[in-house]
Structure 1
Amino acid sequence: MKTSTKVAGFVLGLAAVFTLALGAGALVGPEKTTTDTPGADAAPEVGTSVVEGSPAGLTATDGGYTFSLDTADTEAGTQVPLHFRIKGPDGQPVTRYIESHDKQLHLIAVRRDLTEYAHVHPILDDTGTWTVPLDLDEAGTYRLFADFTPEDGTPLTLGADLQVAGHFDPRPLPPPTAITTVDGYTVTLDGVLVPGQASTMTATVSRDEHPVTDLQPYLGAYGHLVALRATDLGYLHVHPNGHPGDGGTPAGPEIDFSVTTPSADDYRLFLDFRHDGVVRTAEFTLTAGPAPSTGTDTTPAPDGHGH
């Protein structure tokens, strides 16, 4: 799967917690199979919730809501149609949502080796079925995250696996780096990730060594950051401080975020930003370690969902 915003050389994430089967030579991706419970993960019973404060997206069911794929496997290709539903506590597809950042639902698709990424926005029909095409030209297991707020007002992120059949060449997690390039833009990410604390991270965008001061709003913000814990793909979705038009937030080159990592680990971060009418994604690997003795932002952790 390719996005329009591929990081050159590869480095918008947060050392590898996804269960990746690294073997000698090329591996064979999952063959197409059938399942009676597509998209199902080991999850709490309907009506229960994961432990408060834990990363999101580790289960297909939380708070009585279930992320249900029409099929849990597909063939590799471009613009592959994906269909799914969010089922409510009554077992029926949810048809009413609260809009968040200009959309009713955000879908994140990432291969489990964290080298393929997309942030897309499916279309909802009257039956409660969501549909979106995905570029899945790389075989492997993909983790899908449905980030939404049902009508009851409680934000949720649910996760499910999609198997993409074909020849699978897993790649190691890119080494930690806080600077990357994409489509001629250089993006640096400054700050220290401290487990259990809200860490201020500042992304700085430049092009041709000149600061970009006219970033364009995208989904109601100048940047969107998704962070995934490498060991299990625990999901963090955060947004920048301030917003366009608030009278105090500049349109670049800096974008400030507050990120709370739940544990010491490697994280893959994906930063979406728009400039000259095009959305691009900058990708990073950072490590959250023990709190340093000085110079650390010790602001109490905010709501873990970030919306």
Structure 2
Amino acid sequence: MNTAMKLGSYVLGLAVVFGGALGVGKVVGPVGTQPAAEDHAAMAAPTASASAAHGEHATEQVQEDTPGGLQVSENGYTLNPITTTIKPGEPADFRFAVTGPDGRPVTGYEVEHDKKLHLIVASRDLTTFQHVHPEMAPDGVWSVKLTLPKAGPYRAFADFAPTGGSALTLGADLSVAGDYQPEALPKQSRTATVDGYEVTIDGELTPGRSSKLTLKVAKDGKPVTDLQPYLGAYGHLVALRAGDLAYLHVHPDGAPGDGKTEAGPEIVFYAEVPSTGDYRLFLDFQHEGEVRTADFTLSAGERPQVPEPEPAPSAHGDDHSH
């Protein structure tokens, strides 16, 4: 049944869930569970210190871990959409600014993977995904041509690192006016096809543990061995958790031109998700001068059990009785 949505402006959400920033490999998130130790370098995201070993301290730490991704503000920085109207299927000049702790638009950014800021936009039902790169004016206002294909709620993620500061991912809710009917989450699949390319994914998502994911790219049944660098890597992977759109952005092992990383057909990632549940994964890769996106639905299994610590030896001998 259609739900009429007459929305003339964007709505900013303040949901505290989890997210990530550019870099290789992990997100530590809440969901009432304790993160495991890292196997690979964490993405440069502001997170609390490592969890305590056990007991009440571990529970406290998980509650305090509130990584970015779905927060509109963090560490004094706020994502501020300026554009107020987007119509379905029509190009819009989407404008926004990031304000800093002083309340002014930020104009100084670190370059991360060839860009000062990465913008991800996804529909709430996770059937639409875009990874775009806006341009910044001298006054700190960013703009990009954005076409959202259908009416309904969307989430925009700004992935960046202010000059001299930690990497952040801030999010804002966007709304496109019109009749809206959410689509079902695409079924789980380890194979995606796009423009004649077939991409397969091997590996499991294990909450609280760094998981190896191997993606293989083929075209017309033949392995692609001449992938082209895109934003400093042979592939970029974004994972969004179904339901709350918790965000994770990871990059593959190795780098083009390092003398050991092959240009396909395999792209290897290490990613850590914080909870069980369904995730949508989106792989951007470039071949023959064009960037394409392959998408998958995977389910994260049970969190590995952390063994209870051994009790400390008694200060008294075993034969000492009371």
Choose from 23, 37, 40 the match for 2:12. 40
Q: Work out whether 1:271 is the aligned partner of 2:283.
A: yes
* Alignment map for 1:5-16 (pairs within 5 Å): none
CA distance in 2, matches of 1:114, 1:260: 20
Q: Work out whether 1:186 is the aligned partner of 2:198.
A: yes
- TM-score w.r.t. the length of structure 1 is 0.81
CA distance in 1, matches of 2:159, 2:207: 23
Q: 1:58: which partner in 2?
A: 70
CA distance in 1, matches of 2:47, 2:194: 38
Q: Work out whether 1:235 is the aligned partner of 2:247.
A: yes
Choose from 131, 134, 156 the match for 1:144. 156
> Which amino acid in structure 1 is aligned with residue 266 of structure 2?
E
Q: 1:10: which partner in 2?
A: none
Q: Deviations over 1:25-55 (max 9, x none)?
A: 2332x31335xxx5532268xxx98866555
CA distance in 2, matches of 1:49, 1:203: 28
Q: 1:305: which partner in 2?
A: none
Greater strand proportion: 1
Shift of 1:284: 0.3
CA distance in 2, matches of 1:158, 1:202: 28
Instruction: Answer 1 or 2: higher relative contact order, Cα 8 Å, separation at least 6.
Output: 1
Q: 2:80: which partner in 1?
A: 68
> Which amino acid in structure 2 is aligned with residue 102 of structure 1?
D
Shift of 1:75: 2.0
CA distance in 2, matches of 1:262, 1:75: 35
CA distance in 1, matches of 2:300, 2:85: 33
Contact 2:12 2:174 in 1 (8 A): no
Secondary structure of residue in 2 paired with 1:136: coil
Contact 1:72 1:163 in 2 (8 A): no
Shift of 1:204: 0.2
* Alignment map for 1:208-227 (pairs within 5 Å): 208-227=220-239
* Alignment map for 1:73-92 (pairs within 5 Å): 73-92=85-104
Contact 1:55 1:234 in 2 (8 A): no
CA distance in 2, matches of 1:203, 1:186: 10
CA distance in 2, matches of 1:225, 1:82: 24
Structure 2 unpaired stretches of 5+: 17-45, 49-62, 306-322
* Change beyond 3 A, Cα 1:287–1:72: farther
CA distance in 2, matches of 1:104, 1:162: 22
* Change beyond 3 A, Cα 1:53–1:186: farther
* Change beyond 3 A, Cα 1:73–1:161: farther
> Which amino acid in structure 1 is aligned with residue 300 of structure 2?
A
Shift of 1:172: 0.4
Secondary structure of residue in 2 paired with 1:246: coil
Q: Deviations over 1:242-287 (max 9, x none)?
A: 0100111000000000010010110000000000001000000000
- TM-score w.r.t. the length of structure 2 is 0.77
Contact 2:275 2:303 in 1 (8 A): no
Identity fraction in percent: 53
Structure ID, larger Rg: 2
Contact 1:49 1:62 in 2 (8 A): no
Contact 1:39 1:68 in 2 (8 A): no
